[in-house]
Structure formats: structure tokens, C-alpha cells
Amino acid sequence: MYVATLLTNPAAPNLDPYLVESMRNAWGGGEIQWLSPDEAAEFTLPNIPKNLWDVWGDLQPMGVDLVAQPAEGRRKKMLLADMDSTMIQQECIDELADEAGVGDRVKDITARAMNGELDFEGALTERVGLLKGLDEAVIGKVLDERITLMPGGKELVATMRANGGYAALVSGGFTAFTAKVAEVLGFDENRANTLLAEDGKLTGDVQRPILGRQAKVDALEQITARLGLAEADVLAVGDGANDLGMLHRAGTGVALHAKPTVAEQCEVRVNHGDLTALLYVQGYNRSEFVSE
């Protein structure tokens, strides 16, 4: 048995009941379950429709996301999440670069790296090198003034943990940011790169080894082994090319507002919903959401 989930942006919910019913009828689906009025609905399917991606493409201009997956085992026991442009709305290194006066140069490298055009490790060391001499105190300023959480993050983490899940934040960014974001959102652990500093100034380098694409896969393997979980028990979410390894290995890998070259390699794509979409995809009703 399979299940189809339709989602919209909760800030402007516009899921048309007629649209949901028409799709259910066309695909021979089961009874429609509304997970949240005007925002999210699902119905069972006898199989994955052959025209799934054609329909997905038709729904995108309407602001509707569509996910079809096996019904069994979709409620996961572990969340493995990227941070930049996933759990927060910014790329931390870009914000630091703005403060250092090299924002445009760094943002271009970041965009190309996240799109898979550049080697992640090389791109990171090049960008960090441009931060050399920046006052270490600027990190706190950026955290306070520039970093905003992605909507739905607190509900995602809190709801999964309230239902026995484990949450790990794994970033190619920096521990100075993941530690704070993990604390605010309630993650059980966080992993990232460490910016090096001397005499209160950034040295323009990071501690080795550099955590990139493979480090996220390593985290998936290590944490599941430690907790006695299967990789199928994991819900992973990210947006960049360095997330693809963990997205492909996890039981459910979600490309969230991802770069097109990344999204097209993932079976679950959320372009319109926020992080609560990851709860709907698991079959949670909005009445089951936990916010703290």
C-alpha cells in the first residue's frame, strides 16, 4: 500500500478539496484524510502512479507539493538535518562574509558549491580564507542579527522527539552556529566544522578533517548504529549537493527548497511547504504537532 500526500505553504494555505478529490478518483485512491484544513491532505494508493512526476510538475505552479511513498514505515525514528538554508533561512558563511566585506565573492562560491558545481572542501577553504582577520565576536553579532529559523523547525524537532525520535543537526557549516541552533530547536546533538581563531581574530582556516558530504553519511551510519536503528528509520533533510549522500541513504530523504540539480535526484521534494511538511509526509495530523 502506498500513500499520496499533498501540501501547500502553511502561511498561505490554498489546497483545493476538489483538486485532491480529482486526483484521488483518477488514481483509484482510498478515503481522503485532511491532516490540516486547506493545507495538507493524504489518501492511500494501490501503487505509485506512472504519471506521478507529470502531475507533480502540473501542481508546482499552483503552489502544491506532492509526495507518494510506501505507507509502511513512513513515520521515522530519527531526524538527520542540514542547517544552512534548511533549519535556518541563511547560509552562515555568506552572512559572515557580508560582515567582512566580501559577501558577493563568497555568495557566488556558496551557490556554485551547493549546486554541485564545485568541490565542497575546496570551496569551503577558499571561502573561509576570505574571512581571515575578521573579529571572532562578529559570529555572535551574526547569530543575533542575521540568522532566522526556518518556519516549522521547532514543531518538526519537538514532535519527532515527543514520539520517541532522535534529532541530529549535521552541517558543513560551523560549530559556532550549530551549537546555538541545535540548542534553540532542541536537537539531541550537532556536528559541524570548527572555525579557527587566534587572539580574537579568525585565522582564515578550519579544523581538519573538514566535514562535508561524506561526514553526513558517516553521521547517519554512526548514530543509527549507536541507537540500534536501521537507516530506513531515518528522515534526512537538506538542500545542497553535499546533502545528497545522506538523502539517498536515509529511509526518506527530503530535498527542501533545494537547488534544482539536487531536487531532481530526490524522490521527496518540498518546494512550497515549510519544515512541518516533513511531519505531514510522515502522516502526522496538525493536532499532533508539538511546539516546545
Annotated active-site positions, please? 82, 84
In single-letter form, the type of residue at position 289 comes to: F
Give the distance, in angstroms, between the CA of residue 146 and the centroid of all CA atoms in the same chain. Answer: 19
Per-residue cell: 105: 565573492
Q: Report which of 81, 75, 74 is spatially closest to residue 187, judged by C-alpha positions.
A: 81
User: Residue 261: what are its φ and ψ, rounded to 5°?
Assistant: -65, -25
d(CA 238, CA 149): 14
CB burial string 56-84: b at 16+ within 10 A, e below: beebeeebbbbbbbeeeebbbbbbbbbbb
In single-letter form, the type of residue at position 260 comes to: P
3-state helix, strand, coil in the chain (%, to 5): 40, 25, 35
d(CA 42, CA 34): 6
222 Cβ contact partners less than 8 Å away, ≥ 6 residues apart: none
Q: Report which of 240, 220, 77 is spatially closest to residue 161, judged by C-alpha positions.
A: 77
CA distances from 165 to 105, 229, 248, 282 (A): 40, 11, 20, 12
